[in-house]
Structure 1
Amino acid sequence: MDLQGKVALITGGGRGLGVAITKRFVKEGARVCITGRHRETLEKVAKTLPKGSVHVCPGDVSRDEDARRMVEETVKFGGKLDVLVNNAASDVKGRITELDPADWRKVIETNLTGPFLLMHFAIPFMVKAGGGSVINIASLGGTRCLPACPAYNSSKAGLIMLSQQAALDYGPDKIRVNAVCPGGIDTELLDEMILPMAKALKTDKQGALDYFSKHVPLRRVSKPEEITGLCVYLASDESSFMTGA
C-alpha cells in the first residue's frame, strides 16, 4: 500500500492509537497534520519523524473555530487534504445515575460532535480536489454495550451512523467514509478504560481484562499495528470502492 503524495489530518495524534497511525502514515509516504489539546505532546511525536513530514496543530475538536483551523492549517501545510482520520476521543465511566451530565456532554462533544465538525469543514476541500477518504475511529462499544460506558457507547454508535450517512450523501462526490471499530488496544490508554470497568465489575485490573478478552474471539486485546494497517488501506487508492463500512 502506498500513501505517497497523500496529505492527512489525524485528530488525537499525540498519544495512543493516534501516534501509531501517524507513524505508519508517514512511513507509507504521507504528510500528516496531527491535532491534540497539548502542543508539547504533539511536538514530541513530530520530533520522532522525518523533518517536514508532520505539522502540529493543537486545539479542541469540539470547538467550531478549532476544527475549522485544523482543516485550514492542514491544507496550508500540504496544499490539499486527501485523508481525514477522526481519532480523538474521550471517555468518563459510570452508570447513567452516576455520570455527571457535564461529563456526558464532554464525551458526546469530543467523540461525535468533533468528527461532525471536522467532516463539515474538510469535505468541501476534498470535493474541490476530486475526492478523499474519511476514516472515523469508532469502537466495539458502538456495536455492543460495555459496562458503565453510557456516554462512550452512545457516542461511538452515533459515529458509526454518522459515517454511513456521510458515505451515502457524499459518495457521488467521490468521498469515501468508513468507520473502524476496534476493541481494546494495547496502548498507554488501556488503563483508562480497564480500571473504571474493574470497579464497575467489582474486580481487579486482571479480572476486567479477562472479562473483556473473553468476549473477543482471539481472547486478547489488539496491538496498535493491527489497526494501523487497516487505516492505511482505507486511506490508499487500493480501497477506492470501499465506503459506508
Structure 2
Amino acid sequence: MKFQGKTALITGSGTGIGKAIATKFVENGASVIILGRRKEPLEEASKDLEQIISKNNSGASVKIFAGVDVADESAMTSMFDALKNDNVNVDYIINNAGVSGPVTCFPNSPLKDFKSTIAIHLTGTFWGSVQALKVMKEGGKIITISTFFTEERPLEQRPYRFRSPYTASQGAKNRLAEAMSWELTDKGIISIATNPGPVHSDRIYKTVYPKAAAEFMRVSGFEDLSPVEVEEAKDDLLECILADGIDKEGIAKTAEKLANGKDVTKLTETFTNLLTKIQTIAEKVQNNTSHMIANREFLAQTQVSESVLNLCDDEIAKILNGKVIPGDRVFYPVKPHIGTTAPGVHQPDFSGKSVVFAIDGTDKTDAERVEFLAQHVEKNGGKVACFISQSTPTEVQEHISSKFHSHVVDITSPEEMERWLNTAKTNLGEILGVIHVTGKLPEISKLTELDRAGWEELVAKFISTPATVAQRALEHFVPGGDKDPRLYKDTKGAIMIIGPDLPIGRKVTGTQRAQVEVFRGALRPFTTTVNQELSDVLKSKIRMFTVFPGSVTGAEPDNQKIADAFNFLVSENSASSAEVTFCVDETR
C-alpha cells in the first residue's frame, strides 16, 4: 500500500497502458481518476478497479470523467475546475492519452489529421499539465509518456517513417517535460518523461504495423491496383484481419463496394493477395524491431505501469526531475541526421530560377536575415518572392516589402500558399527552393503560465505552419504526388525551414533554452522523418532541411552560414546526405 492516501489522474485510461497504470496505482492503495472519450471502457475499467480496492480494503476510490478528449480545452478545464471545487488534491498526473495519427507519407497526410495528432499528444499534455496545477501541491509529480523514436542521442535523430505528426508531437513532449521541470521548481512539482519503447498492445499490432505495411503497398501500387485504389481499400481490408486468419466474407464485401465496373471475383482475389502481403510486411516490421532489443521482447503494459509508479517514488523522482527516462531499450542504429555547419560547395548559379520565402517573422533581426538571404539569391542570378505572414509585425513587413517583391498573405492556409507558389512560378520562373522562416520564440516568462490561445499560437507558428508550407511546396514540386506517390521518383526540389533561434546573450537561463527546445524538439524528428520518406520510400531527390540558428553559448547567429546551408541544399550533394538538420552556429 505504498501509495495509500494518494490520488493519481491518468489520461486515456479506459483501456491499454492507461488502464494498466490505473490498476497498478489501486493495487498500491491509491485513489484514481480515469478519463477518456468513450464512456463504456471507462465504466468497465472502473468495475475492475473497484474490485481490487474492495479486495485490498484500502479505502481508495475511483472517479470517472467520460467524454473528455484531452485536446478539448473546455472539457479539460471543466474537469479540473470540478476537482478543485470538490477539494480534490491530485498527487500524480500521468499524461498517457494518445492516438496513432495518420500512418502515411507526409505528402499524403491530411493537414487536419496532422493538427489533430499534435492537439492530442502535445497540446493535450500541455493543457492537462497546466490545468492540473490547480489541484496539485508541493511534491506533486507530472509523468509524461512519449515515444522512444523521437528521443535523440548526440548528433542523431531517428526517423519514424509514415508518422510525421506523431514524431513531431512526441519530440516536443520530451522537451516540454524538461521545460516544465525548470518552470515548476518554485512550486515544488516534478516533471519527468518516460519513453517505454515498443509495448505489447492492440494498437501496435492491429493499427500501426498493418497501416505502415499498407502504406508501402500504396506507394508502389499492387498488382493492377493504383495507389488511389489501395488507399480506398486499405481501411476496410485492415478490418478483415482476425486473430485466427482473415475475414474472407469481409474482403468480398469490400470488393463489391469498390468494384467500379471491375470483375468482383478477380478483385476479391487481388484484395486477398494484398491483405496477405500487408500481413507479411507487418510481421516483418515487428520482427525486425524485436531483433533490435536485447531480449527480443516488447514490454508488457504491466511493466510500463511498474516503471511509471517507480518514477512517482519521492526519492527517485527528485533524482530524475527533468529527465527523459529510460531512453529506450531499442538499439536502433542510425546515421547522424543532425550536423553543425553544412558541407561547403561551389557557389551555385541561380540564374533562371526563383526562391520563395514564406516568412513568419518575430522582430527586425528576422527581416535582416531574410534581406541577407534574398540578396544572396539575387547576387547569384536568382529571383526572389517574399510571402509574409499576416501575423508578422508591421516593421518587419515594411522592411522586407521595401526591398523585395512581397505580398502579405495567409501562409497558414494551404490553398493560399499553393496559389502564391503558382503565381511565383508564372511570374519569376522555376522555383528552385522554398525557405520558411519561423521567426523566434517571443519572450515568455513561463510556458506554463500561458493561456490556451497563447500556447496554440506557438504550436501554429513553429509546428503547424512549417508543416503547411512544406506540404504545399512538395505538392508544387510534384503535382498530384499526394495521390500518386510514384510521381516522386527522381524529382528535385529544396525546402528549408529556419527554425527558432537559441536565445542570445551571456546570461541565458536554462528555462529560456528549454522553452525554445520544445519547438526545436518538434522540428528535428519531423524533418528527419519526412526526408527518409522522400529518399528511401518515394525515391525522390527532393530534400527538406531545417536550420537552427544560434548556439548554447548565446553567441550571435551568422546568416552567412545559413546561406551556405542553402547552397548545399540545392546542390547535387544534398540528395545523398544523411544530415538534414543543421545547427549552423554550433562548433560541438
TM-score tier by shorter-chain length is over 0.9
Distance 1:79 1:161, change over 3 A: same
Alignment of 1:24-173 (within 5 A): 24-50=24-50, 53-58=61-66, 59-75=68-84, 79-91=88-100, 92-126=102-136, 129-143=137-151, 144-173=158-187
2: CA distance, partners of 1:30 / 1:46: 14
2: CA distance, partners of 1:7 / 1:199: 42
CA contact (8 A) 1:55 1:77 kept: no
2: CA distance, partners of 1:75 / 1:124: 7
Larger RCO of the pair (alpha carbons < 8 Å, separation 6+): 1
TM-score, reference length from structure 1: 0.92
* Structure 2 unaligned spans of 5+: 55-59, 152-157, 218-279, 324-588
Which residue of structure 2 aligns with residue 196 of structure 1? 211
Distance 1:175 1:7, change over 3 A: same
Deviation of the 1:236 alpha carbon:
2.7
1:37-69 deviation line (CA, Å, top 9, x unaligned): 011111110011226621110211111111112
Distance 1:193 1:161, change over 3 A: same
1:66-125 deviation line (CA, Å, top 9, x unaligned): 111232344566721111001000122111101111110110000000011011111243
Determine which structure has more spread, i.e. the larger CA radius of gyration: 2
Which residue of structure 2 aligns with residue 208 of structure 1? 285
2: CA distance, partners of 1:233 / 1:31: 17
Per the alignment, in what secondary structure is the counterpart of residue 76 of structure 2?
helix
Which has the larger displacement, 76-85 or 154-163? 76-85
Quick one: which amino acid aligns to residue 7 of structure 2? V
Which has the larger displacement, 88-97 or 203-212? 203-212
Which residue of structure 2 aligns with residue 219 of structure 1? 296
Distance 1:221 1:148, change over 3 A: same
Deviation of the 1:201 alpha carbon:
4.9
2: CA distance, partners of 1:196 / 1:240: 37
2: CA distance, partners of 1:101 / 1:37: 22
Per the alignment, in what secondary structure is the counterpart of residue 49 of structure 1?
helix
Which residue of structure 2 aligns with residue 230 of structure 1? 307
The yes-or-no answer on 1:183 pairing with 2:183 is no
Aligned length, in residue pairs:
243
TM-score, reference length from structure 2: 0.40
Per the alignment, in what secondary structure is the counterpart of residue 167 of structure 2?
helix
1: CA distance, partners of 2:301 / 2:30: 18
* Structure 1 unaligned spans of 5+: none
1: CA distance, partners of 2:49 / 2:27: 9
Per the alignment, in what secondary structure is the counterpart of residue 3 of structure 1?
coil
Distance 1:198 1:212, change over 3 A: farther
Deviation of the 1:172 alpha carbon:
2.6
2: CA distance, partners of 1:213 / 1:195: 16
Per the alignment, in what secondary structure is the counterpart of residue 218 of structure 1?
coil
Q: RMSD value over aligned CA atoms? A: 1.9
Distance 1:234 1:70, change over 3 A: farther
2: CA distance, partners of 1:243 / 1:72: 27
1:165-222 deviation line (CA, Å, top 9, x unaligned): 0011112321111111022211222222211122345552211201222333332311
2: CA distance, partners of 1:29 / 1:236: 14
CA contact (8 A) 2:88 2:135 kept: no
CA contact (8 A) 1:138 1:159 kept: yes
